[in-house]
């Protein structure tokens, strides 16, 4: 498999911003993000078309589609998953899934270059975030979980002498609660560009998903509330 020349479409919809990228080998050819939040259903096909036109490519030329698998927004992940599966199924293209949290951790590792523990965070509700732990080699050391950020968050890691690097759109929740702690706040947020390194590795190893049975990693069920009864 000629990985250096592989043409891969990258779809990132785990958070409020829909992000689409196109790469050939290790080069990012084009990337476009929705201008407003939670516009995935309305914008995703337009952003894909914009990336293809900008790069002079077509869907038929794709070697694979890479998808950010979650955790994250339930509805947004469903839109991304349905779009990726539709392209792969109709054009018989392989589907690659990239762990959203690992891609964030790797991007912040490349930017910060700290010998530390990396905890990417996806905003959930109120003071809750989805997170996982990664070491300075981007190896997962803690499985994905939903946590409520409080003053004891990361206390064990600090007692063990570790420095903490936070990234993602949930990291800001820690500023007020964990003020004065040894934390590096990386500005890295979810982007289709961050899927590229891990997608290339998966492509080279032919680690593809079964398109028919793939489902995003929601981690938690959607927060569905019952409508209030109408007043008579």
Same domain, 74 and 114: no
Provide the token pair at 74. 């339930």
From 206, 31, 198, select the one nearest 100 (Cα to Cα): 198
Q: How many helices (H) and strands (E) does the chain have?
A: 6, 10
In a domain, 95, yes or no: yes
Per-residue pLDDT tens digits for 41-93: 999 999 999 999 999 999 999 999 999 999 999 999 999 999 999 999 999 99
In a domain, 214, yes or no: no
Averaged pLDDT for residues 203-210? 97
Same domain, 83 and 132: no
Same domain, 69 and 88: yes
DSSP per-residue letters across 62-95: -SEEEEE--SS-HHHHHHHHHHHHHHHHHHT--E
Domain that holds residue 27: 3-99+190-204
Q: What is the model's pLDDT at position 226?
A: 52
Residue 2's pLDDT band (cuts 50, 70, 90): very low
Same domain, 194 and 93: yes
Residue 114 to residue 116: CA distance in whole angstroms: 5
- Count CB neighbours of 35 within 10 A: 9
Between residues 230 and 28, the one the model is more confident about: 28
Same domain, 94 and 9: yes
Helix (H) or strand (E) holding 107: helix 100-112
- Count CB neighbours of 136 within 10 A: 16
Q: What is the model's pLDDT at position 115?
A: 95
Q: 117: domain CATH number?
A: 3.30.420.40
In a domain, 224, yes or no: no
Per-residue pLDDT tens digits for 8-17: 999 999 999 9
Same domain, 194 and 94: yes
The total domain count for the chain is 2
DSSP per-residue letters across 11-69: EE-SSSS-EEEEEETTEEEEEEE-SSTT-HHHHHHHHHHHHHHHHT--GGG-SEEEEE-
């Amino acid at each position: 498999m000629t990985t250096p020349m592989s043409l891969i479409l990258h779809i990132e919809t785990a958070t409020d911003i829909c992000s689409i990228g196109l790469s050939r080998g290790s080069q990012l050819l084009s990337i476009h993000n929705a201008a407003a939040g939670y516009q995935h259903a309305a914008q995703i096909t337009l952003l894909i078309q914009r990336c293809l036109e900008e790069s002079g490519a077509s869907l038929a030329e794709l070697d694979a589609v890479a998808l950010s698998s979650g955790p994250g927004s339930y509805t947004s992940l469903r839109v991304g998953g349905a779009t990726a599966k539709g392209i792969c199924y109709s054009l018989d293209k392989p589907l690659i899934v990239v762990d959203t949290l690992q891609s964030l951790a790797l991007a912040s590792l490349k930017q910060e270059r700290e010998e530390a523990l990396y905890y990417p965070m996806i905003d959930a509700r109120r003071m809750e975030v989805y997170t996982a732990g990664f070491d300075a080699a981007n190896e997962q050391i803690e499985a994905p979980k939903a946590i409520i950020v409080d003053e004891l968050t990361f206390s064990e890691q600090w007692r063990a002498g570790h420095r903490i690097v936070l990234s993602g759109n949930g990291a800001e929740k820690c500023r007020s609660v964990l003020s004065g702690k040894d934390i590096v706040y990386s500005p890295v947020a979810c982007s289709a560009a961050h899927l590229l390194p891990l997608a290339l590795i998966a492509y080279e190893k032919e680690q593809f998903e079964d398109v028919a049975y793939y489902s995003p990693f929601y981690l938690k069920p959607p927060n569905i509330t019952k409508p209030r009864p109408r007043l008579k």
